[in-house]
Structure 1
Amino acid sequence: MSFGPRLFFSSTAKIMSSVSKKFKSNPPKIGTHDGTFHCDEILACFLLKSLPDFKDAEIVRSRKDEVLNECDIVVDVGGIYDPKSSRFDHHQQSFQETFSSLRPEFGDKFDVRLSSAGLIYVHYGEEAIQEIYKQHFNEKLSERNLKVIYRKLYESLIREIDGIDNGVPMFEGEPKYTISSHLSNRVKRFLPSWEVKNVDYTAQFHKALDYVGEELVEKLVNYKSWLNARNHVVEAVENASTVHESGEILELKTFCPWKDHLQDVEKEFGIENIPKYVLFQDTDSFRVICVPNSPTSFVCRKFLHINWRGLRDEELQKCSGVEDAVFVHASGFIGGAKSREGALKMAIESLCGDYCN
């Protein structure tokens, strides 16, 4: 049984367009509003300044049309969303775009109205991510991995900023407690107190820009390890038929955090709910662990053999017929043997049904 990748991002053409190099000024200008600043336009500006064409850009803060019209790109001000003219505001009543409406190839669950951060991310996020990875790892992400990271970063950071900026509640009803440590609130610390006069808002804006940028880059750098684990899971899925013809037993050549990745990889390859067990080496022995219904669930798709649960060593070996079997947990979610062949046999026998040879 062999599987080919069914890429979840392949159905729709890219919306991202290259930044025009015919700038009105040198260095180019990024326009945004003056006065009180927020996390969304700060992040939007940082993403733009991550791009080669805008790395030396001047950030111009104003609400005057004559000033904004001289900028090469404008975010979070001006009342216009028009990518062709590089205008990216989201405050006008007519604007109802979401990540899913503009990038439907990533699914329909991202239905939070976009802020300026989300808008710039939709159009230039992939390019920005590639530049950040190039600077920190001196490598280019594959198209598949770029799409995975792009979706992951929106889901874990950008969507939060979109929701907070637009006043979108996380759920219905009143929360039992509030979260005050999120990035949008931390940006507020850079705003001057109402009791302080004559503060340079632009200087504070740039301090916040550095702060937000550092957090975003740190998040992307940490995703490198997360992505490496996903690559191991992809390899295990691609090689599943070489482990067992059913395709229901995966083998990790290198153990890594795999539960958070497997269901997404299954969707990508069109094999939802097929894998039942995962093999991996644990120091001097091998483990077979059951795939849970969800990453945090204690309920598995198929537990290990019911007659083996709670047995160890000789008793287990006699019951299972696996000469080097070591243990099976009382709940049946994990077991082990001294050899790979023994762990694999435990998985195969458990697939066959609840009987004891």
Structure 2
Amino acid sequence: MTDKPLPLLVTHSGGFHCDEAFAYAVLKRALGLGPVGTDHRLLRTRDMKRIAEGDIVFDVGLEFDAARDRFDHHQRGAPTRADGTPFSAAGLVWQKYGEAAVRAILPEAARGFAPAIAQELDRSVVFRIDEIDNGTATSRGVLDLASLIGDCNLAWDAPGGDDPAAEDAAFQEAAALADAVLARRVDAVRGRHVASAEVLALHGRGADARVLVLDRRMPWKGAVFDHALPVIYCIYPVQNGNWMVDTMPPEPKSFDQRLPLPEGWAGLQDAALAEASGVPDAVFVHLRRFVGAARSREGALAMAQKALALGFAAAMAPKG
């Protein structure tokens, strides 16, 4: 009785691009594959007879059929996204295996976020790879993922550069880079989703809907925008033991505030700020009035409440 051969993954030989390196990283995560040769084989070739032998074929073969694990985009009639953007091999593989790859990266407690994270990464990462690979991107940064992976190709004058084994080794390095970027991006998006759920829960339990009180520092402004919360100030602890009083901008990426901290507190510290604010453990307020701090949760909450009262009074004061 002969052992069944390891599953064969096939892509093209020669110089490689971001889309097939990223696609390979996604496949390995989704299918739980280890290093090449341990539980799968990887063949880089342009020989159509060899390509036909593959269990999964990507970025080569002139065929797209997700049911048969064929993911090429170079043929006439290759699939496009709803907006007409052509898919790359990365995009085609992601449509079938992206969510499974994300789920494999996530800790068990966060796997419920896998569909939402996969959709976000499709928009923010995979779509970009599709654009660049097909030449439809309107701009391209010097240090984008495609450029970094492209730099993994052997230099034209590298010793042994004509050796297919050396090219295969370089491709493995590129795939490892793509995998590392994928894992870090999944974790970053996971963190935002977890933070958003916690922000909503804490806001719902708060005494004043205008003041969000967190028990640890986390991304919070995105959740406020996404759920249209009426937050003016956010209070949270930082590493040095202080409690911050952070202001909410009126719109994403704005450097303005819905309500700046009081003008009379601007640039003050310690005793001077304590006297001006009436909060004994007040530490500082930035000159631009977008952030301040106290030494305790109670002090920070008092600063926020006093700032709200002063801001309301100023808004109601007669004009002129």
Into which bin does the TM-score normalised by the smaller protein fall? 0.7 to 0.9
Paired residue type of 2:175: V
2:172 matches 1:209: yes
User: Structure 1 stretch 65-74 or stretch 225-234: which is displaced more?
Assistant: 225-234
What is aligned with 2:302? 345
Relative to 1, partners in 2 of residues 1:252 and 1:225: Cα closer, same or farther, differing over 3 Å? farther
Counterpart contact for 2:149–2:174, Cα < 8 Å: no
What is aligned with 2:27? 48
* Shift in Å, 1:320: 4.0
Counterpart contact for 2:25–2:179, Cα < 8 Å: no
Counterpart contact for 2:152–2:170, Cα < 8 Å: no
Paired residue type of 2:103: Q
Instruction: Name the SS of the counterpart of 2:200 in structure 1.
Output: helix
What is aligned with 1:5? none
Percent sequence identity is: 30
Counterpart contact for 1:46–1:209, Cα < 8 Å: no
Relative to 1, partners in 2 of residues 1:294 and 1:209: Cα closer, same or farther, differing over 3 Å? farther
Relative to 1, partners in 2 of residues 1:33 and 1:341: Cα closer, same or farther, differing over 3 Å? same
Counterpart contact for 1:51–1:131, Cα < 8 Å: yes
* Shift in Å, 1:344: 1.4
What is aligned with 1:71? 54
2:202 matches 1:245: no
Relative to 1, partners in 2 of residues 1:200 and 1:240: Cα closer, same or farther, differing over 3 Å? same
Paired residue type of 1:241: G
Relative to 1, partners in 2 of residues 1:36 and 1:321: Cα closer, same or farther, differing over 3 Å? closer
Paired residue type of 1:193: W
Paired residue type of 1:252: L
Relative to 1, partners in 2 of residues 1:266 and 1:202: Cα closer, same or farther, differing over 3 Å? farther
Counterpart contact for 1:187–1:208, Cα < 8 Å: no
* Shift in Å, 1:289: 0.8
What is aligned with 2:68? 85
Paired residue type of 2:230: I
Q: Deviations over 1:56-78 (max 9, x none)?
A: 22223344444333322221123
Counterpart contact for 1:33–1:61, Cα < 8 Å: yes
Give me the whole-angstrom Cα distance separating, in 2, the residues matched to 1:311 and 1:42.
54
What is aligned with 1:58? 41
Paired residue type of 2:138: M
2:313 matches 1:355: yes
Paired residue type of 2:202: N
What is aligned with 2:7? 28
Query: Which consecutive residues of structure 2, in runs of 5 or more, have no partner in the other structure?
Result: 315-320
What is aligned with 1:330? 287
Give me the whole-angstrom Cα distance separating, in 1, the residues matched to 2:47 and 2:117.
37
What is aligned with 1:281? 237
Return the TM-score normalized by structure 2.
0.77
* Shift in Å, 1:96: 4.7
Relative to 1, partners in 2 of residues 1:222 and 1:274: Cα closer, same or farther, differing over 3 Å? same
Instruction: Name the SS of the counterpart of 2:235 in structure 1.
Output: strand
* Shift in Å, 1:240: 0.9
Q: Which has the higher contact order (CA 8 A, sep 6+)?
A: 1
Give 1:154-173 correspondences, 5 Å limit. 154=122, 157-171=125-139
What is aligned with 2:317? none
What is aligned with 1:105? none
* Shift in Å, 1:333: 0.9
Question: Alignment partner for residue 110 of structure 2, among 116, 138, 142?
Answer: 142
Give me the whole-angstrom Cα distance separating, in 1, the residues matched to 2:237 and 2:63.
56
Paired residue type of 1:74: V
Relative to 1, partners in 2 of residues 1:308 and 1:51: Cα closer, same or farther, differing over 3 Å? closer
* Shift in Å, 1:30: 1.8
Counterpart contact for 1:28–1:54, Cα < 8 Å: no
* Shift in Å, 1:43: 2.2
Counterpart contact for 1:30–1:73, Cα < 8 Å: yes
Relative to 1, partners in 2 of residues 1:97 and 1:170: Cα closer, same or farther, differing over 3 Å? same
What is aligned with 2:96? 123
Return the TM-score normalized by structure 1.
0.70
Q: Deviations over 1:293-333 (max 9, x none)?
A: 45643212221234443445565455544444343333221
* Shift in Å, 1:279: 0.3
Counterpart contact for 2:267–2:287, Cα < 8 Å: yes
Give me the whole-angstrom Cα distance separating, in 2, the residues matched to 1:309 and 1:197.
64
Paired residue type of 2:313: Y
User: Structure 1 stretch 61-70 or stretch 81-90: which is displaced more?
Assistant: 61-70
Instruction: Name the SS of the counterpart of 1:179 in structure 2.
Output: coil
2:266 matches 1:309: yes
Counterpart contact for 1:79–1:89, Cα < 8 Å: yes
Aligned residues: 305
* Shift in Å, 1:219: 5.1
